[in-house]
């Protein structure tokens, strides 16, 4: 009896301790329920229905998995666009991350005038997200001239095969875009370098390690968490990118009479499922590499 | 005897000279190649060169924008005029400002960006602090859900959100962005919560313990000590949030389509405003008549954030380095 009361008292005390924390979390919890949980379950529900806009709201007609099946079997644009875009992404993500790493390494060196350069390299952070950039790309300001000038297409086809040549060319055509999309990644790397203590570099230099060694043995391993963070960020960034053809297709389908919101939601869920699988894969790979490294050392 | 001494002497001097020369060579080598990768002249030259190339590529669209802005029709169509227009026209700018209804749209955009970012800083800091320091049940679950909200593309939930906002009567007003920000669901709010969580986790607990011993309540502790302490993180979050709200296009293209429209939407509609006869799918074609005007409009949209950034740049950079955003 007494023990029970004691337990209750302890639990009460515990929840009293939680009170402040819950109070601080309260806005987020309400917001999550209102603006994430309800919309998510609603859109999942819609994806199993044929949704039509009727006078006082929506009219639902349960169709089960048909929307999902149609996306792959009937739609002759969606699967192709999806596969092309994913192929491009697979190539773009590593390029962006490696490029950002190199630039960050250079910006991290001490040289006169580096503040000006750093300021310049924040430009993409300022307006890479905007409508302005897509406007610029429409006008052709983002093209690189050497693609047509040197007629690279046959060369690329020869080296990587016809099958992937198109992807490679598409990525090359987006070279400027790659530069523009590495703003935040460069920032993350620069911030990451600050966490490596300079005394380590000093120590290995005295031990006779060349800069080359110290990059591979110290900088790069210390950067693995930031690399994984950047890979994740880049994937998310590219998936919600405004010029993305898949998203455009989803948006187009929303306002078509014969497909409607239900079908568009199904497409969005397929898309989301793929991102999620990709991100889970990346997380798993990185956590494994971290673990093996810890096991070795 | 003397000749022997002489030869000895010359040998010695030669060897001294050799040593000196060797040292000089070493010094030159030091200067050129450097002790470590960063302080050699050669390395610096390469770094300057590479960075300048990339910086040029970054600047090029902006230069293009500025140069096109001042071109008139004949300059625009003349292929020999590449960067510098033959005569400067101001007509494009006045047309763009009129087409955008610049003062009004600027006010709308600034209102959204500033208020939502301020709210977001405070709410995200609170949530991040609760996750980092306060006693909370299901902490892991909350963190996982926050990461999940970051991963969901807005396209998945945009239609239900539209319906919810229209039921609440928030559409086409500031509140369509302010209310979600107030409840921790602003633009990329999840990322900011994680940044604050990281920041508060990195602070030594002794400060809070001392304050608690002095009898400060949690709210007092947070608003009086921890939030001012997190100044650099606040600045970083505010600036990112400001820029992202300023640039956002997808959400306002759904929620703010008439009346209270920000700059990005007006840029999108500029073509129709300038050429009412050209309706339909004009977005994919480059229209030379309106190109200069559009570039002028684009320039005036990014001008305010560039000015803001120029002033806050230094704190921003050091803030990011100090926040430990990324651990």
Residues in chain A: 297
Chain A nearest CA to B151, separation (Å):
7
Subunit contact A195:B324, Cβ cutoff 8 A: yes
CB contact under 8 A, B302 and A27: no
Question: If you measure CA to CA, which chain B residue comes closest to A46?
Answer: B160
**Which residue of B155, B185, B302 is in closest CB contact with A32?**
B185
Q: Is the pLDDT score of B280 beyond 60?
A: no
Residue B46: the pLDDT is 83
B19 Cα to chain A: minimum distance (Å)? 23
Name the residue among B137, B155, B316 with its Cβ closest to that of A250.
B155
Q: What is the structure's pLDDT at A114?
A: 74
CB contact under 8 Å between B157 and A39, yes or no, is: yes
Taking contacts as CB-CB distances below 8 angstroms, the residues of chain B near A191 are: 320-321, 323-326
Query: A70: closest CA among A88, A87, A47?
Result: A47
Chains A & B: contacts with CB separation below 8 Å: 244
The span from the CA of A90 to the CA of A96, in Å, is: 11
All residues of chain A having their beta carbon less than 8 Å from the beta carbon of residue B68 are: 139
Sole residue written with tokens 């229905």? A49
Give the separation between CA A287 and CA A108, rounded to whole angstroms. Answer: 27
B143-150 CB contacts, 8 Å cutoff, 24+ apart: B143/B197, B145/A32, B146/A28, B146/B190, B146/B193, B146/B194, B147/B190, B147/B194, B149/A32, B149/A36, B149/B185, B149/B189, B149/B190, B150/A236, B150/B188, B150/B190, B150/B191, B150/B194
Collect all residues of chain A within an 8 Å Cβ-Cβ radius of residue B37: 109, 211-212, 215
Chain A closest-CA separation from residue B3 CA (Å): 46
CB contact at 8 A, A58 and A51:
yes
How far apart are the C-alpha atoms of A96 and B40, rounded to whole Å?
A: 28
Query: Would B10 be classed as within a structural domain?
Result: no
In chain B, residues with a C-beta closer than 8 Å to the C-beta of A273 are: none
Distance of residue A195 Cα from the nearest chain B Cα, in angstroms:
8
B217 or B2: whose pLDDT is higher? B217
**Is residue B34 assigned to a domain?**
no
Q: Is B213 exposed, middle or buried (0-12, 13-18, 19+ CB in 10 A)?
A: exposed
In this complex, do B151 and A279 lie within 8 Å of one another by their Cβ atoms?
yes
CB contact under 8 A, A131 and B126: no
- The ipTM assigned to this model is 0.78
Give me chain B's average pLDDT, please.
80
Considering only CB atoms, A139 lies closest to which of B193, B291, B326, namely B291
- Model pTM above 0.95: no
Give the one of A35, A131, A236 whose C-beta lies nearest to B151's C-beta.
A236
For B106, B213, B270, B319, the CA distances from B237, given in Å and listed in that order, are 22, 31, 31, 10
DSSP-assigned letter for residue B136: -
Q: Does residue B274 surpass a pLDDT of 60?
A: yes
Residue B38 predicted with pLDDT over 70: no
Indicate the burial class of B210 (C-beta count within 10 angstroms; 0-12, 13-18, 19 or more). exposed
Q: Is B199 within a domain?
A: yes
B268/A131 touch (CB, cutoff 8 Å), yes or no: yes
Bridge partners, A58 (sequence order): A53
Contact between chains at A118 and B317 (C-beta distance less than 8 A)? yes
Q: For residue A152, give the H/E element and its range.
A: none
Chain A residues within an 8 Å CB radius of B243:
125-127, 129
CA distance A143 to chain B (A): 10
Q: Which of A90-104, B258-272, B291-305 has the highest mean pLDDT?
A: A90-104
Contact (CB<8Å) B164/A126: no
Query: Angle at Cα A146 formed by Cα A142 and Cα A149, nearest 5°?
Result: 125
Q: Is residue B258 part of a domain?
A: yes
In this complex, the residue of B61, B151, B313 whose CB is nearest that of residue A119 is: B313
Query: Which range has the top average pLDDT, A203-217, B240-254, B281-295?
Result: B240-254
What domains does chain A contain, in order, with CATH numbers?
2-47 (no CATH), 67-128+181-296 (1.10.3720.10)
| Alpha helices by DSSP H, A122-244 | 123-127, 131-138, 146-149, 153-160, 162-173, 175-180, 183-193, 198-206, 211-214, 220-239
Taking the C-alpha atoms of residue B320 and residue A30, their distance in angstroms, rounded to an integer, is 30
pLDDT of residue B200: 87
CA B15, distance to chain mean position in Å, is 60
Which residues in chain B have their CB less than 8 angstroms from residue A30's CB?
183
- Assigned domain for B305 exists: yes
Residue B250 DSSP SS3: helix
Q: Classify residue A50 by its DSSP letter.
A: E
CA B175 to chain centre: 24
Taking each continuous run of H as one helix and of E as one strand, the counts in chain B are 16, 0
Task: Say if B3 falls within a structural domain.
Answer: no
B241/B203 Cα distance (integer angstroms): 23
**Strands A49-54 and A57-62, bridge-based pairing:** antiparallel
Least Cα distance to B244 among A80, A287, A131 occurs for A131
Which pLDDT score, from 0 to 100, does residue B327 have? Answer: 45
Cβ distance of A135 and B324 shorter than 8 Å: no
CB within 8 Å: A229 and B326: yes
Shortest Cα distance, chain A CAs vs residue B13, angstroms: 33
CB contact under 8 A, B155 and A251: yes
- Residue B22 placed within a domain: no
Taking residues B248-270, report their average pLDDT: 84
CB A261 to CB B268 under 8 A?
no
The pLDDT assigned to B125 comes to 94
Q: Which parts of chain A sit beneath pLDDT 70?
A: 1-4, 55-56, 127-167, 169-170, 173, 242-243, 293-297
Please give the tally of structural domains in chain B.
1
pLDDT value at position A138?
64
Closest CA to B94 of B76, B78, B70: B70
Tell me how many degrees the CA angle A133-A136-A139 measures, rounded to the nearest 5: 155
CA distance B248 to A127: 10
- A204 near A218, Cβ under 8 Å? yes
Q: Which domain holds residue B284?
A: 101-323
Q: Please list every residue in chain A whose beta carbon sits closer than 8 Å to the beta carbon of residue B134.
A: 20-21, 24
**Nearest-angstrom CA–CA distance, A173 and A27:** 45
* List of chain B residues whose C-beta atoms are within 8 Å of the C-beta of residue A141: 60-61, 64-65
**Residue B141's CATH number:** 1.10.3720.10
Whole-number pLDDT of residue B282: 47
- Give the integer Cα–Cα distance in Å for B161 and A43: 10
pLDDT of A152: 62
Q: Is residue B63 part of a domain?
A: no
Contact criterion met (CB below 8 Å) for B160 and A45: no
Residue B59's contacts (CB-CB under 8 Å, 6 or more residues apart) are A120, A123
Structure-model confidence comparison of residues B157 and B9, the more confident one = B157
Nearest CA in chain A to B246: A130
Q: Which of A79-88, B129-138, B314-323 has the lowest mean pLDDT?
A: B314-323
Q: Which residue has the higher pLDDT, B179 or A64?
A: B179
B324: closest CA of chain A, how far (Å): 7
Per residue in B200-228, pLDDT (tens digit) is 887 888 888 888 888 888 888 899 888 88
pLDDT score of B142:
92
Facing B267 at nearest CB: one of A135, A265, A279:
A135
């Amino acid at each position: 009896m007494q023990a029970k009361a004691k337990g209750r008292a302890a639990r009460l005390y515990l929840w009293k301790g939680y009170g402040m924390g819950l109070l601080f979390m309260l806005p987020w919890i309400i917001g999550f329920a209102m603006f994430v949980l309800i919309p998510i379950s609603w859109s999942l529900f819609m994806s199993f229905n044929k949704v039509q806009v009727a006078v006082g709201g929506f009219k639902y007609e349960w169709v089960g998995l048909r929307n999902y099946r149609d996306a792959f079997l009937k739609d002759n644009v969606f699967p192709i666009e999806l596969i092309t875009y994913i192929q491009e992404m697979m190539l773009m993500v590593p390029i962006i991350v490696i490029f950002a790493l190199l630039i960050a390494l250079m910006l991290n060196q001490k040289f006169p005038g580096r503040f000006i350069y750093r300021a310049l390299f924040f430009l993409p952070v300022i307006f890479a997200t905007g409508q302005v950039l897509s406007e610029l790309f429409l006008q052709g300001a983002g093209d690189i001239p050497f693609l047509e000038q040197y007629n690279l297409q046959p060369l690329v086809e020869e080296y990587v095969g016809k099958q992937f040549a198109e992807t490679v060319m598409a990525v090359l055509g987006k070279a400027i875009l790659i530069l523009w999309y590495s703003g935040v990644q460069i920032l993350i790397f620069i911030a990451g370098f600050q966490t490596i203590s300079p005394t380590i570099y000093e120590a290995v230099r005295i031990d006779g390690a060349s800069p080359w060694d110290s990059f591979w043995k110290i900088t790069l391993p210390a950067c693995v968490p930031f690399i994984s963070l950047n890979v994740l960020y880049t994937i998310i960034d590219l998936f919600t990118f405004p010029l993305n053809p898949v998203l455009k297709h989803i948006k187009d389908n929303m306002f078509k009479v014969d497909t409607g919101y239900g079908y568009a939601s199904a497409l969005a869920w397929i898309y989301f499922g793929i991102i999620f699988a990709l991100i889970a894969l990346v997380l798993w790979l990185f956590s494994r590499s971290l673990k093996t490294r810890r096991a070795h050392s | 005897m003397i000749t022997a001494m002489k030869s000895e002497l010359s040998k010695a001097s030669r060897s001294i000279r050799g040593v000196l020369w060797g040292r000089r060579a070493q010094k030159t080598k030091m200067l050129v190649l450097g002790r470590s990768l960063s302080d050699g002249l050669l390395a610096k030259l390469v770094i300057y060169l590479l960075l300048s190339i990339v910086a040029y590529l970054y600047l090029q669209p902006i230069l293009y924008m500025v140069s096109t802005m001042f071109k008139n029709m004949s300059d625009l169509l003349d292929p020999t005029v590449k960067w510098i227009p033959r005569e400067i026209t101001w007509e494009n700018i006045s047309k763009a400002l009129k087409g955008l209804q610049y003062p009004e749209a600027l006010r709308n955009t600034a209102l959204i960006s500033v208020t939502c970012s301020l709210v977001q800083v405070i709410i995200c800091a609170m949530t991040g602090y609760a996750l980092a320091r306060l006693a909370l049940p299901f902490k892991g679950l909350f963190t996982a859900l926050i990461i999940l909200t970051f991963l969901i593309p807005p396209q998945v939930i945009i239609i239900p959100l539209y319906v919810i906002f229209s039921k609440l009567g928030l559409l086409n007003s500031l509140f369509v962005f302010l209310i979600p920000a107030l409840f921790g669901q602003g633009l990329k709010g999840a990322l900011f919560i994680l940044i604050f969580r990281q920041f508060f986790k990195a602070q030594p607990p002794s400060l809070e313990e001392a304050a608690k011993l002095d009898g400060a309540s949690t709210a007092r502790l947070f608003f009086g000590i921890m939030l001012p302490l997190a100044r650099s993180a606040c600045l970083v979050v505010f600036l990112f949030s400001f820029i992202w709200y300023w640039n956002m296009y997808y959400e306002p293209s759904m929620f703010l389509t008439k009346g209270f429209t920000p700059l990005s939407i007006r840029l999108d509609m500029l073509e129709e405003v300038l050429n009412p006869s050209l309706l339909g799918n004009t977005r994919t074609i480059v229209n030379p008549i309106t190109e200069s005007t559009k570039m002028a409009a684009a320039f005036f949209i990014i001008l305010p954030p560039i000015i803001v950034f120029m002033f806050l740049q230094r704190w921003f950079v050091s803030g990011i380095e100090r926040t430990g955003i990324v651990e």
